[in-house]
Amino acid sequence: MAIGLIIIGDEILSGRRVDQHFPKVVQLLAARGLQLSWAEVLADDPARITATLKRTLASDDIVFCCGGIGATPDDHTRQAAADALGLPLVMHPQGKLNIQARIVQMGIDAGQPADLASAENQHRLKMAEFAQGAALIPNPYNNIAGFSLHKHYFVPGFPVMAWPMIEWVLDHHYADLFNREPRMEQSVLVYEAAESALTPLMVAIEAQFPRVKVFSLPSVGDANTRRHIELGVKGEPVQTSTAFIQLCAELKRLNVEFDKIA
């Protein structure tokens, strides 16, 4: 089982807004001993959203989808999720009540009684139209719920709403997965070495330690740092610890300059 993230919005791809969901979701998962396996950013394109969801819904992945569940013309996610499953879009009774309660509260806050029958407020109810069989995800910010379908969890694009909703899903549905597999990561900074020269060592480490991944992050350096590669191992703690000792020993044997990262 993998965990994926879909971020939807033209404004991300055009650069009008900088995505904040990716680093936050990585953080939320890491705090629970989980990892993000993949992420995709999609435009507000109904056909592409539908095709992507049809593919991911056919998998066993846990997927969080941020954005496009409002009721404006560029919000296509609710319809796309229904189309991906070949299901009708229907009004969720509790979702409708939540929106109506929000409208009434907004009227109270503004000092004007809300007209639930107005065209504007009737249009707001579209935010409670989900694919048949969808379950609600509570929204602590304004009580306008997101929805879930087949291990897919659809939340608004607004971080103040999306992040606590994602936390709620993790804590209520996947607590049994938390910290299930202990992990360790250790690395060194290797100076003035070519990545290609280190590749045989990386391949050998992974071949010897099947529960360990080797990673290399090259840097051209800057005014304060020489050219270097962050070279490390991550994975199951016992194997990772042994692999790191061997990695350092091999770097010494190759007469490569390196510093351990605390």
Q: How far is CA 71 from the centre of its chain?
A: 23
Q: Report the pLDDT value the prediction gives residue 65, as an integer from 0 to 100.
A: 98
Asked if 70 and 146 sit in the same domain, the reply is yes
CB 185 within 8 A of CB 240: yes
pLDDT bin (cut points 50, 70, 90) of residue 173 is very high
pLDDT at residue 1 is higher than 80: no
Asked if 55 and 29 sit in the same domain, the reply is yes
Asked if 88 and 19 sit in the same domain, the reply is yes
Question: Taking Cα atoms as reference points, which of 160, 135, 131 lies closest to residue 146?
Answer: 135
Q: Report the pLDDT value the prediction gives residue 17, as an integer from 0 to 100.
A: 95
Q: Report the pLDDT value the prediction gives residue 225, as an integer from 0 to 100.
A: 83
pLDDT at residue 223 is higher than 90: no
Domain limit, last residue, from 177, 207, 235:
177
Q: Report the pLDDT value the prediction gives residue 249, as an integer from 0 to 100.
A: 97
Q: Report the pLDDT value the prediction gives residue 130, as an integer from 0 to 100.
A: 98
Asked if 203 and 157 sit in the same domain, the reply is no
Task: Work out the percent of the chain whose per-residue pLDDT is above 70.
Answer: 100
Asked if 155 and 90 sit in the same domain, the reply is yes
Q: pLDDT per residue over 236-261, tens digit each? A: 999 999 999 999 999 999 999 999 98
**What is the domain-level CATH number for residue 165?**
3.40.980.10
Domain limit, last residue, from 177, 204, 230:
177
How far is it, in rounded angstroms, from Cα 16 to Cα 31?
30
- Mean of per-residue pLDDT scores for the chain: 96
Asked if 167 and 220 sit in the same domain, the reply is no
pLDDT at residue 221 is higher than 90: no
Asked if 130 and 228 sit in the same domain, the reply is no
Asked if 153 and 253 sit in the same domain, the reply is no
pLDDT at residue 181 is higher than 90: no
Q: Report the pLDDT value the prediction gives residue 169, as an integer from 0 to 100.
A: 98
Mean pLDDT of 176-201: 93
| Tally of structural domains, the chain | 2
Q: Report the pLDDT value the prediction gives residue 184, as an integer from 0 to 100.
A: 92
Q: Report the pLDDT value the prediction gives residue 105, as an integer from 0 to 100.
A: 94
Q: Report the pLDDT value the prediction gives residue 250, as an integer from 0 to 100.
A: 96
Q: What share of the chain is helix, strand, coil (3-state, %, to 5)?
A: 45, 25, 35
Mean pLDDT of 213-226: 90
pLDDT bin (cut points 50, 70, 90) of residue 36 is very high
Within 8 A by CB and 6+ apart from 202, the residues are 214, 216, 231
Domain limit, last residue, from 119, 153, 177:
177
Within 8 A by CB and 6+ apart from 184, the residues are 234, 235, 236, 237, 240, 241
CB 90 within 8 A of CB 149: no
Q: Report the pLDDT value the prediction gives residue 94, as an integer from 0 to 100.
A: 98
Q: Which domain holds residue 93?
A: 3-177
Asked if 122 and 243 sit in the same domain, the reply is no
Q: pLDDT per residue over 64-89, tens digit each? A: 999 999 999 999 999 999 999 999 99
Asked if 207 and 104 sit in the same domain, the reply is no
